[in-house]
Amino acid sequence: MFYTGSGDSFHANCAISPNADVSGIGVRISFYLQATILSLLSLFPTKPHELLLSNLSIQIPTLALISSAYFDTAIDVPHTLIASQLAVLFSVCRMNIFQLKPEELRMRRNGKVLSRIVLLDVLFRWILVVFNFGVWGVVVRLQGNPEICPEGFGLWSFFGSVDLRNSSSAVNFAYVYTILDIVWEASRLVIGFLRGWMVDPTILEDRTHAQLSIDSRAWFIFNLLYSLLFRCKVISTGKDRFIRRMCEYARYLSFLRQISFLIFFIISIEKTIQLNNLTPSENIWAFGQIFQIINTLLSSNSSSSFPEPAKSSSSKHWHVSAHFSAWDSLVSSRKKELLFTGLYMRRRGQESLII
């Protein structure tokens, strides 16, 4: 990290030095290309194993960026913020459950793949939000200690030039955003628990599957919106049909959000590099930068041509029908219905913690 120590003993890296591993020209372009490709792919339906590989292709670089910024004791503040922005960009451009067809969620052979997608998404999202909260918390703390880096520790681009040494609305906004991001991720767990508690796992109908096959936060928002519109007599359609239609709209809204964030982060990162006079040293096309782009193109091609896994012949039939908040496991030998909500397991009125 760009700081060491705690309490009264606190030291930060004030000098700004080039770091091609984080923001070299090849690294930046490869990340931009990867985010753009995933954003375009989000417009089309996909298979669960393709979604898993696509998300892994950005989750692994995200972990590498966060690790390089966290464990590098010589990194400066601007490069830490660039790594954070690239990680957030990958998080925004990742594929989500709206790219899957409803019938894919009902296929028992997709159980393991969908479970991995959910668990990896939760894991990497929490790593990201905690890292961002820590980074901006330290930046705010540095601003409250004028004796540390009195000449400044870099500039940041956020709709203009932002001096990180001085307190500003841009830095405060970024810090508040990291807090809201943690609340947003925590709401996934809380609402997922509530949904798993409210939905009866013994009612295995298409209506229940449609309710469980979306993100728990989207499920809450769609149900709330449906209740308001139905009470005002604006709509008369069924809830299941309304939720499916909203999922279709959410796919395109998600694409617009991804493109907006992509454009913003590209401009912000490039401007940050220019403001800190890093362009001459980090825009050199060395072998490592060229290799990064070639590796990105090859990875994208191999992910798109990955074969679909074969059907499972196991005696235990898994039925996964949710983006985190519900796994319905049907064990034919005992005829027991289990509903996994991520935190709790219900078995015909018997509750027990699983995490």
Any idea where the domains of the chain sit in the sequence? 3-353
Q: Which of 22, 23, 82, 24 is nearest to 289 (CA)?
A: 24
pLDDT at residue 8, as a whole number: 63
Query: Do 84 and 131 touch, CB atoms closer than 8 A?
Result: yes
Predicted pLDDT at 7: 60
Question: pLDDT tens digits for 171-214?
Answer: 999 999 999 999 999 998 898 888 777 765 554 444 444 455 56
Question: What pLDDT shows up at residue 331?
Answer: 29
Instruction: Supply the Cα-derived Rg of the chain in whole angstroms.
Output: 23
If we measure between CA atoms, which residue out of 162, 170, 172 comes closest to residue 276?
162
**Residue 266 or residue 213, greater confidence:** 266
Helix, strand, coil percentages (3-state) for the chain, rounded to 5, are 60, 10, 25
The pLDDT, as a whole number, for residue 88 is 94
Q: What is the DSSP string of 119-171?
A: HHHHHHHHHHHHHHHHHHHHHHHHHT-TTSSTT-S-EEESSSEEETTS--HHH
> Do residues 135 and 81 touch, judged by C-beta distance below 8 A?
yes
- The better pLDDT of the pair 47, 172 is held by 172
Phi, psi of 329 (to 5 degrees): -110, 120
